[in-house]
Amino acid sequence: MANKNKTEFRIRNSELIRPDLSVSFAGIKLKNPVLTASGTFGYGEEFAEFVDLNKLGGVIVKGISLNPIKGNPPPRIWETPSGMLNAIGLENPGVEVFLNEKMPYLRKYDTAVIVNMFGYSLEEYIAVAERLDGVQGISGIEVNISCPNVKAGGMAFGTDLRATFELLSAVRKTTRLPLIAKLSPNVTDVTAFAKAAADAGCDGLSLINTLLGMAIDVRCGKPRLANCTGGLSGPAIRPVAVRMVWQVARAVSLPIIGMGGIVTGEDAVEFLLAGASAVAVGTANFINPRATLDVLDGIEGFMREQKLGDLREVIGKVDAG
């Protein structure tokens, strides 16, 4: 009898109930909605000292191309108010090194691995996607059509509706893995690109990538970055990202990974309310290597505080009148 009373008390007191944070995203089972934004978390190993990767919803790895890329000359980064510009130039060791040296480490963990990939031509995108298809331990592919820091590839595809559709359609045919398109915010109407991705057969969307920006050293009259322009990330871009997630969530039915300046659990909840089913922590990993876990704790704390038991009670529930 005493035990029964205790149980009832536990159920009534929401503080003691662990909210269900699991979510199915584009067919990928995630323990919780917290992922890592590509390019801010390396290949997971760099952060394993600070974060138990098993606790994350998943890891979206740094972008992979067919061949190794050496990246842009320095300076590559510049801090701006509550944000940073970067022009790394997609430096990466190439798909073979990734599969041989990075994947074995990630496979040790019980966490979803989503591989961000890109190419300098349609053929390269297809070749990388083919190589990733069927590899054990890969849960999905995030196609980067939105990097602002390389001339060919990247944003050149992601800011042209027809190129977006054709590229994503071609990649779709090469893989059975869940396909997520990472969209560029550097367009007038992001919903048109979201629709093109949906029409091409994508399973989900990531938004947003960085905003194209520039900073100038006024004393010497030169750009701060060797690449002149770079991608703006961090808390400075969060309102833009939340707006775009909200617009796209209303326009298409594909699930969305929301990202852009998330530092706290409340930041993440903003994206969930706007319509994202999952979130990715990016630049915050640089200022706090435990940021992903802090965001996860924050989301859980919010759900408890609001006495919510399931993420579905949050996703897309902004009251926009």
Contacts with another protein, residue ranges (CB under 8 A): 39-42, 46-47, 49-50, 52, 62, 69-79, 81-84, 86, 88-91, 120, 150-152, 222-223, 225-228, 234-235, 263, 283, 285-290
CA neighbor of 57 nearest in space, from 70, 42, 44: 44
What is the rounded distance in angstroms from the CA atom of residue 95 to the CA atom of residue 115? 10
For this structure, is 147 an active site residue?
A: yes
Nearest-5° Cα angle at 53, 297 to 70 = 120
- Phi and psi at 280, nearest 5°, equal -125, 135
- Measure Cα distances from 218 to 213, 221, 222, 224, 228 in Å: 16, 5, 7, 9, 14
Query: Toward another protein, which CB reaches closer, 122 or 161?
Result: 122
Q: Buried b / exposed e across 292-309, counting CB within 10 Å, b at 16+?
A: bbbbbebbeebbbeeebe
Q: Shortest approach of another protein to residue 239 CB, angstroms?
A: 13
Dig out the tokens for 40 from the structure. 């801010």
The nearest distance, CB 109 to another protein, in angstroms, is 15
What CA–CA distances, in Å, run from 310 to 84, 268, 275?
34, 15, 15
Q: DSSP states of 144-155 as a string?
A: E---TT-SSSTH
Cβ of residue 33: shortest distance to another protein, in angstroms?
22
Q: How far is the CB of 126 from another protein (least distance, A)?
A: 19
Q: How many whole angstroms separate alpha carbon 157 and alpha carbon 169?
A: 12
The minimum distance between CB 250 and another protein, in angstroms, equals 29
Strands laid side by side in the 83-86 sheet: 77-80, 83-86, 229-233, 211-214
Report the catalytic residues.
147
